[in-house]
Amino acid sequence: MIASNGSLFYYLTLMSSSSPLIGIIMGSDSDLPTMDKAIAVCQRFEVPWEVAIVSAHRTPQRMVNYAQTAHERGLKVIIAGAGGAAHLPGMVASLTPLPVIGVPVATRHLQGVDSLYSIVQMPRGIPVATVAIGNDQNAGLLAIQMLAAHDPILLKKVQNYRQELEQMVLDKQENLDK
């Protein structure tokens, strides 16, 4: 029903088989190229995840069902990407007790500023942790860090990742100095 192109089929075949801890949802399959690094982060840290197309305005009941049952199904955090009016992250956040990370998807006419404002400007009481426009990698990392706070093995993986980042910078400097 939701698979409409080759890349989506590709990612659906990669869906975690074990109980997912991170739910990665998006308003349209056209958001998938923006959300693929969040998936890659989950794979890198070997945290089970699931991906779903959930549109707030085209499939509102599906969105309600997904959000209301997410914690019962074992999810710990939801990453939600959307573009334009981008009400998916906020609506999902209003329906689940789980933390929600919003990814503003870049749009053709307003380059994602519309998405950013829609997602980041949540009124008080229902937070959405919003990353920069198109920065699904940070959304994935933030989700991993949320889980790592209660998981020493995952915490160590995060520390190792940070060391890799640091080493990358040092290597670049070394190349410049040559």
- Comparing CB distances to ligand RP5, the nearer of 30 and 135 is 30
CB of 157 to ligand RP5, least distance (A): 30
Cα 48 to Cα 143: distance, rounded to the nearest angstrom:
12
User: Contact with ligand RP5 (CB under 6 A): which of 21, 24, 25, 27?
Assistant: 27
Binding residues for ligand RP5 restricted to 55-114, rule: CB under 6 A: 55, 82-84, 105
CB of 29 to ligand RP5, least distance (A): 7
Among 2, 8, 12, 30, binds ligand RP5 (CB under 6 A): 30
Which residue from 70, 111, 69, 67 is spatially nearest to 87, judged by alpha carbons?
67
Which residues, in sequence order, are bridge partners of residue 50? 23
Fill in the per-residue mask, 116 to 155: x = in contact with ligand RP5 (CB under 6 A), - = not in contact: ----------------------------------------
Burial code (b: 16+ CB inside 10 Å, e: under 16) for 6-17 equals eebeebeeeebe
CA distance 5 to 21: 26
Give the residue numbers of the binding site for substrate.
28, 31, 58
Question: Which residue in 164, 88, 132, 125 sits closest to 142, CA to CA?
Answer: 132
Binding interface with ligand RP5 (CB under 6 A): 26-28, 30-31, 55, 82-84, 105
